[in-house]
Amino acid sequence: MEKEKPINKQTQAISNDIGQLAEDARALVAATSDVAGEKVVEARKRLAAVLESGKEAYGRAREKAVEGVKAADEVMHHHPYQAIGIAFGVGALIGYLVTRRYSRNGESCSTKNDCDHVT
């Protein structure tokens, strides 16, 4: 049996949260169904429209995320050395930019106490 991947756990947690939010919103709409008034009716309509729109947007975002993860996984399996090289290059670039940021004004952080002013 395959271990569940962390991305799947996170996706499931988000899905559960969105489902709970939608359920709570539907309960709110049901609880206010006997309340008359233009503002309440309009608010319920807007809430229903937002729920539907949110559900559609979540579905599209989830599909895109799954496609992206699958594509990245495929590239990693087919080109592992290139992926390692790219990760190394990105890390080196980030390190260079961070170092440049601190040395731009002639600041030097040779000890921890020297860098206390840097946030």
What predicted TM-score, i.e. pTM, was given to this entire model? 0.44
43-85 pLDDT, tens digit per residue, is 778 887 888 888 888 888 888 888 888 888 888 889 889 989 9
Task: Determine the number of helices (DSSP H) and then strands (DSSP E) in the chain.
Answer: 3, 0
Looking at residue 96, its pLDDT comes to 93
- Whether residue 91 sits in one domain with residue 61: no
Looking at residue 112, its pLDDT comes to 53
Percent of the chain with pLDDT over 70: 81
- Whether residue 28 sits in one domain with residue 74: yes
One-letter amino acid for residue 41 of the chain? V
- Whether residue 112 sits in one domain with residue 96: yes
- Whether residue 51 sits in one domain with residue 14: yes
- Whether residue 85 sits in one domain with residue 73: no
For residues 77 and 1, give the distance between their C-alpha atoms in angstroms, rounded to a whole number: 21
- Whether residue 36 sits in one domain with residue 9: yes
Phi, psi of 75 (to 5 degrees): -65, -45
Is 118 a residue whose pLDDT tops 60?
A: no
Distance of CA 7 to the CA centre of its chain: 11
- Whether residue 84 sits in one domain with residue 73: no
- Whether residue 86 sits in one domain with residue 67: no
- Whether residue 22 sits in one domain with residue 40: yes
**Residue numbers of the domain that contains 25:** 1-78
Closest to 5 in 3D by CA, of 78, 65, 54, 75: 65
Domains: count for the chain: 2
- Whether residue 67 sits in one domain with residue 38: yes
